[in-house]
Structure formats: C-alpha cells, structure tokens
Amino acid sequence: MDKILVHGGHPLSGSIKISGSKNSALPILAATLLTKEPCVLRHVPDLSDTNYMLQILMHLGAEVERASGTVTVKAEKVESTAPYDVVRRMRASVCVLGPLLARCKEATVSLPGGCVIGDRPIDLHLLGFEGLGAAVRVEAGNVRMFTTGLKGAVLNLRGKFGPTVLGTDNVMMAAVLAEGTTVIEGAAAEPEVVDLANFLNKMGAKIEGAGTRRLIIEGVKELHGTEHDIIPDRIEAGTFLVAGAVCGHGVTVTRVVPEHISAVTDALTEAGFKIETTENSVTVSPNGASKALELSTQPYPGFPTDMQAQMCALLSTTEGISVITENIFPQRYMHLAEMKRMGAHIQIEGPTALIQGVEKLYGAPVMASDLRASAALVLAGLKAEGITEISRVYHIDRGYEHLDEKLGALGAHIERVKAD
C-alpha cells in the first residue's frame, strides 16, 4: 500500500490539463450495456474506479479494449447478474442496474455497501424502477428486479438532501428503452447527467430537459453504437484551482468548461483571489490578503459537496472565521480531525464547520478517509511547514489521475512511497 509525502512550503505555478470526468465516465460506461453495437469513449480517466467499472462490464459479458484514454466497449451478449465480489469496491457499480433492467428485463446486482460519508442509499433508484413497472426485491444483500416490459411514467427523484445524481442516471438509462414517455421531476442537473443524456441521445435515445429539474424521455425500441468525448472533470479542476489558491503564484487549468466550475471560482473570487477565464481555461492568482468565507454546499449549480474538503484546507490558514455548512452529506467532515493534527482550529456544530484561520499548519502523519478528504490533506500539506505523510492514498487513485505527478509538474515537492 502506498503513502504520499508532501514537503510543504513550495509555491506552485504553471498549467495543468484536466482529465475526463470520473463521475461522467462511470455511468456512460454502464450505458454501453444498452446496445449490442460498439461504443467508443475518449478521455476516459485512468483511475481505479474506471478500471473497476471495466472489470464489471467484462464480467457481464462485454468486450473491452483500452488504449491511451480511449475505451471501446462491445456488449453483444450481456449477463444480468453482478455478484458482490465484482461490485463491492465501488458504490457507482449500482448504475449498471438501469441498463441491465432495460436490456435484459431482469437484473441481480449486489449492494456495494455503505460509505464513510454516509449510507447514501439507493431507495430513490429502486422507487424509479418500480414506477417504470419493475418488480423489485432486496434480499440477502442483493437487488433483484424483473419486468415483462418497462412502461413510461411520471416520477419524482428528489430526496431529503436534494436530487439524486446516480439515481437520475440510473432511471434515465432504464427509461430510454421503456414503452411510452417518462417524465422525471426533481432530476439532478449536474453536468455529468447532461453528458450521459448527450451520450444516450447519440445512441438514438430521445431525452429532453437535461440540465434542468425536469427530464422528458420518449422510449425507443433499441439503441445503436456511437462515439463520445467525456467532459472534463470539474472537481479535479476545482481541486487544482484551490491548490493554486493555497500556495500558488499563478496556476492555470486547461481543458475545462468554466461554467461547470463557476461556483468554485466565485468562491475564490469572494475569498480575494484573482480569477481569469478563457473559453477553456481558468487561472487563479494571489491578489492581496485572502478573506474568510461563508459557504453552503448545494446541488448543482450551487457549491459542490465534492469541493467542501478542499475549501476547508484553504480556509484553515485564512485570517478570520470561515463557516462551511454541508447540506448534501452532513457527516462529510472526517478530514477535519486529521487537519486538526496539523494545527488547524476547527469546531463542528451539526452540519456546520467553524474554521478559525491559523498562521501556519505543520506537517504530520494523517490518514485519508475518502476521496475528497485525501485531496484536502494533500492541499493542506502543500501549505504546511515540514512533511505531511498521508496514508490510505488508494482513495486518491479512485478519482484523481496521477495527482502527485501533476502537482509535481506545478512545483510541488511530493513523492509516493511504499508504506512500511
């Protein structure tokens, strides 16, 4: 098992090209199961999560080829069962449920289990499938679904903490082959949902309203193969911009869609940083003393929960008291205990973190608890005095393509070593 050593105090500068979106690639890979014809996907990031999804597709019978970020999937024959040994390592594996149900008229997929940032249940996914006419049973850790034919319906997928992104993806993928018209109210509007809808439409689906809270899906009899470019990863882009804010002299991210990260750039502007934007790049630079912030995570286009931990790292050394409220996953503060080990002054009151900025952080041994928490600890280490030793960095490899190498290219002193 690897760990990462971050030698703090070295300024960052330069530009980095952003990889394809993990949260877009995973459901789009699952969607290739909806057709017998080949699908070619470009800008698929090289991550443990995408590798796991490709393993799941192969287990289900698909032929997979991968070369230099391009993946070709041909699912001429498909099995309808994905056991626990196949899906246990990744929660997003549940997004094969919709395609299997639509294509095979049945699906048995093991539940991948909980998550360190909360239970993240799939109740709304199953509610949507039932609304389309599927019989759904959850037994012995498996979801079993059967249908004689899916029928269009009016569904509402808004949950307690807002719309469900994977649930919207999953039900949309099932509905494209349902008879009649499906209306999804309370749909997620994230760019990754739009990317999936665009991919499905290229395959012959008829989806309107992607990017709004109301999707209209006219079912078709079959889909065909296509080619598609995965959108840039807005969370990776936001992470590098926050890294530039933490200790940069001017950091540029390229191959981005600036609109997708406007909530992050707005927050950085409010915090006192200079933001410059072109059609496909964003640059962050220092602009005098930074300022404390009040932030609340919200569904897109609000401030993303996946950037909350990284902002905590930035604000930990920003003068004044910053307030962050986590409205999507209220338990998502595991990184704060580790940042306290580095000298951060943070108090948690329910879903709210009160961050009293300190003059400096100090390197310490810390442990990553999840994907975004691990990125936040790396960012904190960039600012800290001394060496920060981060364990469990397999979390980083789930969602960041060569994070240590990219930061090194910007001037960070960072190394990956084997754990004892």
- By annotation, the residues acting in catalysis are 115
Inter-residue contact 324 to 255 (CB < 8 Å) = no
Q: What is the three-class DSSP state of 97? A: helix
Q: What is the CA radius of gyration of the chain?
A: 21
Beta carbons within 8 Å of 4's beta carbon, 6+ residues apart: 378, 389, 390, 393, 396, 404, 414, 415, 416, 417
Which of 161, 172, 166 is CA-nearest to residue 94?
166
**DSSP string of 154-185, one letter each residue:** EEE-EETTEE-HHHHHHHHHHHTTSBSEEEEE
Instruction: Give the integer Cα–Cα distance in Å for 176 and 99.
Output: 9
Sign of the C-alpha dihedral, residues 359, 360, 366, 369? positive
Chain centroid offset of residue 234 CA: 9
Inter-residue contact 358 to 344 (CB < 8 Å) = yes
DSSP β-ladder status, 181-185 and 214-218: antiparallel
Which of 329, 408, 396, 401 is CA-nearest to residue 368?
396
Beta carbons within 8 Å of 147's beta carbon, 6+ residues apart: 101, 105, 106, 132, 133, 134, 135
Instruction: Give the integer Cα–Cα distance in Å for 345 and 318.
Output: 11
Instruction: Give the integer Cα–Cα distance in Å for 239 and 284.
Output: 12
Inter-residue contact 332 to 266 (CB < 8 Å) = no
b/e code 261-280 from CB counts within 10 Å (16+ = b): bbbbbebbeebbbebeeeee
b/e code 397-410 from CB counts within 10 Å (16+ = b): bbbbbbbbebbbeb
Instruction: Give the integer Cα–Cα distance in Å for 409 and 27.
Output: 31
